[in-house]
């Protein structure tokens, strides 16, 4: 392919006499005469010191840039934002977390388009910047690769961030002392990397690899490791291969590829957030995908990985036995993956997995198909009279498959958490947290603080929690989120009252309030939307544009469908 064809986008920015001003500015940031003849590679870095998930990514971006330069490109590193879910969790600041997914996608799209990059490598290490990178790649549809920043090393006594949240609940019920809580706080997070279980970051890294948008085992490497640096070097070289062969994201992100991603998420016991993010990513790629696809794929896909939060092992321990590629090879051999899907290697999934060795004998992290943790998906899409548009439950079977209890209703996460910590929630209660949906929050906060407090108090098997908000990948217990329509638009969850009986049946995919249709209509007639403290800024913009959780909580305007 001719050089000018490799510079499909950058030549518009730098070729010709009239582009001398632009070249002059680029010379100031290090371009030479020769660099103007090379394909320009944008390196989207999510580095920041706001979170350990991303604190090391500047070095990964620099390593990727050096490799892209050595392969014949001209790398340009640029940054986007990151918000820490773990730090903002349980505070009003958490409302910005899901909002940041849209901001990050917009910013990567804007910089890449404006600067005329011919290819893109995006490096993400936290829950929202990862799907955001893929959303931007789908919009841009120019050669692109995603690099996962890597998972964190375990803390002392195999602790992680969820250990701290659950210790708060244990402390409030007198199970551990002040000194013990402080010791957990001081030792749980030893350095850089994404939270250490199969929480949302590791879930999305695995999904993106299964989707075909990252190199093999990019999802299963520690943040600080020789393997992760090698991953960056390989990505820098691979992006030039994609440019030369004109392989673009929409060639890779097909319907079958998204089915592969969903299947791998289920086998790994991944986060409920994968439902939101994969639907949003598919929408950007013009691939039809709904919450019901998770039911269909889940019916034939077993839960095989014994990983935290509901399981025993950390991501670093899965890495030690080979990561997710041996699991994918097993799934391919059992007909659970589409092997002909193209990937960023330029080869198919089946070709990439052809020489992958199986897990070592005796390992207990990944179960066999004859002994699954659960025969079908742990992600249950529920419907019923309080969720006519659907809800997402995370039920591994360890919690039981059914729950009937008495509603205790809260209009915010903070109010619910305080009630839990004050020992006002007892066995048989269903904690209802509403007005926390995409519009109601606004921002659809994660309910890790209350779910972890319930677990820390030892009530995980005796108390359920339902919400129109969402959950951290670290949440476990009998939890149901994404209830749609949400309370802020008058959804039936807004009509639940203290003392009502709620029935949750994960086996039959049902969630219902035990009142008559006539009583539901009476309550609906009397319902009034509570006032919001949000009157402007990014949250108000998001509230005006965002879709329901069942549609991925995206902000693509309605005209997109016309």
The series of mean pLDDT values per 10 residues for the chain, 562 residues long, is 76 97 97 97 97 96 98 98 91 95 98 98 94 98 98 93 87 92 95 94 97 97 98 98 97 98 98 96 97 98 95 96 98 98 98 98 97 96 98 85 96 95 96 97 93 90 95 84 98 98 96 97 95 94 96 75 42
pLDDT for the residue 1 = 43
pLDDT for the residue 560 = 42
In which region does residue 428 sit, left (phi positive, over 0), alpha (psi from -120 to 50) or beta (all else)? left
Three-state secondary structure of 152-191: CCCCHHHCCHHHHHHHHHHHHCCCCCHHHHHHHHHHCCCC
Alpha-carbon separation of residue 483 from 27, 289, 479 (angstroms)? 53, 18, 11
Based on the residue annotation, tell me whether 206 is a catalytic residue of this protein.
no
Strand partners, 40: 74
pLDDT for the residue 365 = 98
Which residue, among 419, 382, 385, has the nearest Cα to 500 in the 3D structure? Answer: 385
The SS3 call for residue 366 is: strand
CB neighbours of residue 273 within 10 Å: 30
Helices marked H in 394-444: 413-421
Output the pTM of the full model: 0.96
Helices marked H in 245-305: 249-252, 255-268, 273-284, 291-298
pLDDT for the residue 128 = 93
Helices marked H in 445-529: 448-456, 517-526
Per-residue pLDDT tens over the stretch 159-173: 988 899 888 888 988
Per-residue pLDDT tens over the stretch 474-510: 787 889 999 999 999 999 999 999 999 999 999 999 9
Helix (H) or strand (E) holding 393: strand 387-394
Query: Is residue 411 a contact partner of residue 435, using CB atoms and an 8 Å limit?
Result: yes
Q: Which is the catalytic residue, given 48, 107, 412, 472?
A: 472
Provide the CA 144 distance to its chain's centre, in angstroms: 19
Which residue, among 86, 85, 142, has the nearest Cα to 111 in the 3D structure? Answer: 142
In which region does residue 363 sit, left (phi positive, over 0), alpha (psi from -120 to 50) or beta (all else)? beta
Alpha-carbon separation of residue 409 from 130, 431, 437 (angstroms)? 33, 6, 15
Provide the CA 291 distance to its chain's centre, in angstroms: 15
Q: Are strands 429-433 and 464-467 parallel, antiparallel or unpaired?
A: parallel
Tokens 């350990």 label which residue? 52
CB neighbours of residue 516 within 10 Å: 9
Angle at Cα 11 formed by Cα 133 and Cα 39, nearest 5°? 55
Q: For residue 386, give both structure tokens.
A: 């309080």
Residue 342 DSSP symbol:
B
């Amino acid at each position: 392919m001719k050089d000018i064809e490799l510079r499909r986008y950058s030549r518009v920015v730098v070729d010709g006499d009239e582009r001398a001003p632009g070249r002059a500015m680029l010379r100031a940031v290090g371009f030479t005469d020769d660099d103007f003849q090379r394909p320009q590679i944008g390196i989207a870095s999510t580095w920041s010191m706001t979170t350990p998930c991303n604190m090391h990514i500047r070095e990964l971006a620099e390593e990727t840039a050096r490799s892209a330069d050595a392969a014949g490109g001209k790398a340009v590193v640029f940054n986007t934002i990151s918000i820490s879910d773990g730090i903002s969790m349980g505070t009003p600041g958490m409302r910005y977390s899901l909002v940041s997914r849209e901001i990050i996608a917009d910013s990567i799209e804007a910089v890449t388009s404006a600067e005329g990059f011919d290819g893109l490598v995006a490096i993400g290490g936290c829950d929202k910047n990862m799907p955001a990178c893929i959303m931007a790649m789908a919009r841009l549809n120019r050669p692109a690769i995603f690099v996962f920043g890597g998972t964190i090393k375990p803390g002392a006594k195999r602790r992680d961030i969820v250990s701290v949240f659950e210790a708060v609940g244990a402390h409030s019920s007198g199970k551990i002392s002040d000194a013990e809580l402080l010791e957990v706080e001081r030792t749980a997070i030893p350095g850089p990397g994404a939270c250490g279980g199969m929480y949302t970051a590791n879930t999305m890294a695995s999904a993106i690899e299964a989707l075909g948008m990252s190199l093999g085992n990019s999802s299963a490497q520690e943040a600080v490791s020789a393997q992760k640096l090698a991953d960056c070097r390989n990505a820098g070289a691979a992006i030039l291969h994609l440019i030369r062969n004109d392989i673009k994201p929409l060639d890779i992100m097909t319907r079958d590829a998204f089915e592969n991603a969903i299947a791998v998420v289920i086998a790994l016991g991944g986060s409920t957030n994968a439902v939101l993010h994969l639907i949003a990513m598919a929408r950007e790629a013009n691939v039809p995908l709904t919450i019901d696809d998770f039911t269909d794929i889940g019916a034939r896909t077993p839960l095989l990985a014994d990983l935290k939060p509901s399981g025993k092992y950390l991501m670093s321990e899965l890495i030690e036995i080979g990561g997710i590629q041996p699991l994918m090879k097993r799934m391919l051999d059992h007909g659970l993956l589409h092997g002909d899907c193209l990937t960023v290697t330029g080869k198919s999934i089946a070709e990439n997995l052809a020489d992958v060795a199986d897990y070592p004998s005796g390992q207990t992290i990944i179960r066999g198909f004859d002994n699954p943790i659960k025969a079908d998906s742990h992600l249950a899409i529920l419907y019923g009279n309080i969720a006519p548009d659907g809800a997402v439950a995370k039920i591994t079977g360890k919690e039981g498959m059914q729950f009937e209890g008495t509603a205790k209703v809260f209009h915010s996460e903070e109010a619910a958490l305080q009630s839990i910590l004050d020992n006002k929630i007892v066995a048989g209660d269903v904690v209802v947290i509403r007005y926390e949906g995409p519009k109601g929050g606004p921002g659809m906060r994660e309910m890790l603080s209350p779910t972890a407090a319930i677990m820390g108090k030892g009530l995980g098997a005796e108390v359920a929690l339902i919400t129109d908000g969402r959950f951290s990948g670290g949440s476990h217990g009998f939890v149901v989120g994404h209830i749609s329509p949400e309370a802020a638009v008058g959804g039936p969850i807004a009509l639940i009252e203290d003392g009502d009986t709620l029935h949750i049946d994960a086996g039959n995919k049902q969630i219902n309030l035990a009142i008559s249709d006539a009583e539901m209509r009476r309550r609906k007639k009397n319902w009034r939307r509570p006032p919001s403290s949000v009157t402007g800024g990014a949250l108000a913009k998001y509230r005006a544009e965002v879709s329901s959780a069942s549609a991925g909580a995206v902000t693509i305007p309605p005209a997109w469908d016309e």
